Amino acid sequence: MGRRIITTQFEAKSSAKIDGYFDRLLKYIPSEIVGAWIAIKGVLTSADDVPINLLLWVLFIVFVVLTAVWILKLTSESNKPPAVTQIVVSTGAFIVWVFALGEPFSSLAFYRPVYGSLLLILYNIIIPLFNPSQLNS
C-alpha cells in the first residue's frame, strides 16, 4: 500500500482499491514523524541542564517542515502533481498531535490539556472526510 491517497479507480495501480474513510485516516496521520517526536521529547525531558522548552520549540518548527517534506517524498509518483492536500492535512495532523501531547504548548498561558484532547479527537474524525480529488477540482 502506497502512502498517496487513491481517490479514483484510474489512479489505482493494478488491483489497488479506492481509499475509504479509514484508509485516508491512516494515510493522513504521519505516524512515523509523531513517533519520532515522542522519542525526542522523552530524551529531552529526561536531560539535565538544557533549555528544554527552547529546544522543543525549535524542534517543533523543524518537525513541521520535516513532516511536509516527508509526506511529499512518500506521496510522490511520476507523472502526477504533488499531493498538496495530503501534505497540508498531514502537516496539520502533526501539529494537532503535538498540541495534544502537551509540550511545548504547555508553556503557553492559554493551554489546557483538555483543549489538545478535544482538538485531536475532532481533527482525527474530520480529516478522513477530506477527499483530495474533490478539494483540487
State the amino acid at position 16 in one-letter form: A
pLDDT at 124: 92
- Do the beta carbons of residue 33 and residue 65 sit within 8 Å? no
pLDDT at 85: 87
Secondary-structure percent of the chain, ordered helix, strand, coil, rounded to 5: 65, 0, 35
CA 88/CA 125 separation, integer angstroms = 16
Q: Which of 36, 73, 33, 85 is nearest to 44 (CA)?
A: 36
pLDDT at 12: 47
Give me the residue spans of the domains in the chain.
27-130
Per-residue pLDDT of the chain (137 residues; tens, 9 = 90+): 577 878 765 544 555 677 788 888 888 899 999 999 999 999 998 888 889 989 999 999 999 999 999 999 998 888 888 888 889 999 999 999 999 999 999 899 999 999 999 999 999 999 888 777 644 43
